[in-house]
Amino acid sequence: MTDVIIIGGGPAGSAMGSLLSKAGIKNVILESANHPRPHVGESMVTSSTRVFKEIGFLPVMECEGFVHKFGASWHAPNGKEFAIEFGEFPQEGIDQDYTYHVDRSKFDLLMLKHAESLGTKVYQGVHVKKILFEGSKAVGVRAVVAGHEFDLYAKVIVDATGRNTLLGNQLKLKVKDPIFNQYAVHAWFTGVNRGDDLHTADFIHIYFLKVERGWVWQIPINAEVTSVGVVADRNVLKESHSDIEAYFFTHVNSNPDLERAMKSATRINEFKTEGDYSYSLSKFCGDGFVCIGDAARFVDPIFSSGVSVALYSAKYASERIKLAFDTGDFSEAMFMPYEEKVRGGVSVWYEFIRLYYKLLPLFTHFIQSKTHRIEVLRLLQGEVYDRKQVPVLDAMRKYIKAVEMSDDHLMKQALTSIPIDDEPEEFVIPAGELSRSIPGVEQNI
């Protein structure tokens, strides 16, 4: 029997393994795939550097030679470009003014090997079928290797299964976002023109599209390869009646800057699609278990928040797990401060994204504002875990209200149908329904 079972060997699971191993807590990672394996989400925010530093992974990042990301640039459909550099605002505990773009197949494998080097036992090709419960307490997992089924037990079970959300599906805790229903089509290309300015060439470039919540990412993977992805509301694809390739290039060619960038591009792999972009579990933890990273909550990736949320959820959950072993208390109440911390931080991301989509020109207005530029920059850096630090969201909301109330405002036509009247949706299931979703002993097979 180990102390902690971590299901999933992506960034969240590997970070959790590293943190627990450094704390002297025995843990195993059960990963269903065999790494390296492809994965979308190649760009990061600078706050991730703190966690990389804490687990001793920064030297690995530098040794691998991942592309340094010093900033971000946004391209409006009219050809105007707006940029921001992370170095404008130094971050506490971070000694570099850049983050990284990565090849996720390499990055995820390196993270997994790093956890293993610190003492985590890693088993790949192990499919976890379900979490085992005694009453409401998670006590182990049922897994399959090469057709052979076995049970493994531990004091704490960590669900880091990403968008497979093993626990969320098993306990029926997963709730789809009521607003966002984004869909992405993406591939890798050579020959993408990243611009003449060598300093901004390796920024993440975001291109606005003239469709519902439409945008395109341009992310350098290395000197030759660039990841490009078209994102829009799922209905945009349905209504296009196009095949994936035609749909992709129709939108690529709708933005003049992007059309120029892709003029000589050659696709080097198959188009991939991603859906179900935003959802949450109604609870992130319970007696004997925690859910981290995408297994707990996923929001639209417009601001590259995915890996950062994975790392910080692992960090905050590991702190409560350490305390649980110190005190012998593995209850939901012990882990609840983790959930409150992460839910609060992700809700800041969510509100920022919602206001961004409500009025796209507003975003470029605020990143050029002397009053609000630094606050927007801090959000883009991933500094989201203290609500008091983001008054800019209130300012954005007030600006949008003023546009809505005016009959002749220049930005009136740019408003979308996204509601912003209420606080961000927290996806909380009513207490009666939640209690019925927790399995008892009789529900175990």
What's the confidence (pLDDT) of residue 210?
86
**Burial, 375: exposed, middle or buried (Cβ in 10 Å; 0-12, 13-18, 19+)?**
buried
Cα–chain center distance at 118: 25
- Flag whether 227 is in a domain: yes
- Tokens 């992974």, located at residue: 57
Q: Is residue 429 part of a domain?
A: yes
pLDDT at 367: 87
Distances (CA, A) of 170 to 81, 128, 335, 437: 46, 12, 20, 9
pLDDT tens per residue, range 15-40: 999 999 999 999 999 999 999 988 88
Ranges 113-117, 263-267, 320-324, 405-409: which has the least confidence: 405-409
pLDDT tens by residue, 280-313: 999 999 999 999 999 999 988 889 999 999 999 9
- For residue 209, what are the CA distances in angstroms to 3, 14, 114, 236? 49, 36, 39, 11
90 assigned to some structural domain: no
Residue 81 lies in a domain: no
Percent of the chain at pLDDT exceeding 90: 71
**pLDDT at residue 431 tops 70:** no
Say yes or no to pLDDT of 445 above 70. Answer: no
> Which has the minimum average pLDDT: 20-29, 38-47, 73-82, 258-267?
73-82
CATH number at residue 220: 3.30.9.100
* In a shared domain, residues 364 and 257: no
In a domain, 83, yes or no: no
pLDDT beyond 60 at 317: yes
* 380-390: pLDDT as tens digits: 999 998 766 68
pLDDT averaged over the chain? 90
- Give tens-digit pLDDT for 150-205: 999 999 999 999 999 999 999 999 998 888 888 899 999 999 999 888 788 999 99
pLDDT at 388: 63
Tokens found for residue 71: 């900033």
Name which of 32, 51, 40, 122 is nearest 317 in CA terms. 51
Instruction: Give the Cα separation of 326 and 23 in Å (integer).
Output: 11
Burial 325-357 (b: 16+ CB within 10 A, else e): beeeebebebbeebbebbbebbbbbbbbbbbbb
Residue 349 scores a pLDDT above 70: yes
Q: Return the residue matching tokens 């008892």.
A: 440
Residue among 35, 166, 316 nearest 308 (CA): 316
Taking only Cα atoms into account, the Rg of the chain, rounded to an integer number of angstroms, comes to 22
Length of the chain measured in residues: 445
Across the range 31-56, mean pLDDT stands at 94
Helix H or strand E segment including 8: none
pLDDT computed for residue 357 by the predictor: 87
Domain shared by 296 and 264, yes or no: no
pLDDT at 1: 78
Name the token pair of 97: 């003014």
For the CA atoms of 397, 401, 404, 410, what is the dihedral angle to 10 degrees? -70
Least confident range from 45-54, 93-102, 398-407: namely 398-407
- 428 pLDDT higher than 70: no
**Is it the case that residue 443 has pLDDT exceeding 80?**
no
Q: Which amino acid would we find at residue 287? A: D
Task: Check pLDDT > 60 for residue 441.
Answer: no
How many other β-carbons are positioned within 10 Å of the β-carbon of residue 53?
16
What pLDDT does residue 182 have?
A: 85
| Domain containing residue 204 | 182-274
Q: Are residues 205 and 317 in the same domain?
A: no
329 shares its domain with 219 = no
The conformational region for residue 427 under phi > 0 = left, psi -120 to 50 = alpha, else beta, is: left
In this structure, the answer to whether residues 225 and 323 fall within a common structural domain is no
Higher pLDDT: 116 or 378? It is: 116
Q: In angstroms, how far is the first alpha carbon of the chain from the final one? A: 20
Task: Quote the pLDDT of residue 39.
Answer: 86
**Residue 95 falls inside a structural domain:** no
Assign 3-class secondary structure to 57-105: CHHHHHHHCCEEECEEEEECCCCCEEEEEHHHCCCCCCCCCCEEECCHH
For residue 153, the model assigns a pLDDT of: 98
Q: How many domains does the chain have?
A: 2
Predicted local distance difference test score (pLDDT) of residue 387: 62
What residue ranges in 162-235 does DSSP mark as E strands?
174-176, 182-190, 204-208, 215-220, 225-233
Tell whether 138 and 239 lie within a shared domain. no
Would the pLDDT of 433 be above 50? no
The domain boundary residue, chosen from 250, 274, 298: 274
pLDDT at 419: 83
Last residue of a domain, one of 247, 274, 301: 274
Specify the pLDDT at position 133: 98
Average pLDDT over residues 353-373: 87
pLDDT at residue 438 is higher than 50: no
Q: How large is the average pLDDT for residues 263-279?
A: 90
**Domain termination site, one of 274, 304, 325:** 274
